[in-house]
Amino acid sequence: MADEQNSPTPTGKLEPTRGEASGGLDRLEPLIPLAEQLLNNYNRELEGRVKLHEKQMEANEMQAKRDFHYDKDALKFEQHKFDRQYVLVVIITVFVLATAGGLIFFRQNTEAGILLLSHVAALAIGLVGGAGWQKARKDDE
C-alpha cells in the first residue's frame, strides 16, 4: 500500500499524494496575508513612482515650452539688435561718403577727402579684424 501512495513516475521521481501536498499548503497558509500585504505595498510603491515620473515629465515639458518661448524671444531681440546695428552702419557710411564727396567735389580739397576715406577705411578694417579675432578667441574658450 505504501507503494500505491508514492508510486514512481517515468522519470523516477516520487509523486506526492494528496495528503502530503495539502500538508505543505497548510504550512504556507499563514504567510498568504503577509504575501498579499507585500504585493500591495509593492503595487503602491510602483504607482507612486509612476505618478512621480508623470509629474517630472509634465514639469520637463513645461520647462521645454518656457525655454522655447525664451529662445524665440531672445532670437527676436537679437534680430532687432542686428537690424539697428545695420541701420547705424549704413547711416555712418552714407555720412562719411557724403562728407568725403563734399570735400572732394565742392570744396576742391581732394587731399582732405582722400585722407578721410583712407582713415575711415583703415578704422573699418581694424574693427572687422578685431571682431573676428575676438570671436575666434571666444570660440576657443
The answer to whether residue 35 sits within a structural domain is yes
Domain that holds residue 114: 16-140
Residues 32-61 have a mean pLDDT of 92
Single pTM value for the model: 0.45
pLDDT mean across residues, the chain: 82
Give the contacts of 106 (CB within 8 A, at least 6 positions apart). Answer: none
Helix axes 110-140, 32-101, angle to 10 degrees: 170
Q: Which pLDDT score is estimated for 43?
A: 93
Residues 39-51 have a mean pLDDT of 93
The answer to whether residue 4 sits within a structural domain is no
The answer to whether residue 6 sits within a structural domain is no
Instruction: Grade residue 39 by pLDDT with cuts at 50, 70 and 90.
Output: very high
The number of distinct structural domains making up the chain is 1
pLDDT of residue 3 exceeding 50, the answer is no
The answer to whether residue 55 sits within a structural domain is yes
Residue written as cell 562728407? Answer: 99
The answer to whether residue 24 sits within a structural domain is yes
Q: b/e string for 9-45 if b means 16 or more Cβ within 10 A?
A: eeeeeeeeeeeeeeeeeeeeeeeeeeeeeeeeeeeee
Adjacent-strand bridge partners of 14: 8
The answer to whether residue 71 sits within a structural domain is yes
The answer to whether residue 11 sits within a structural domain is no
The answer to whether residue 102 sits within a structural domain is yes
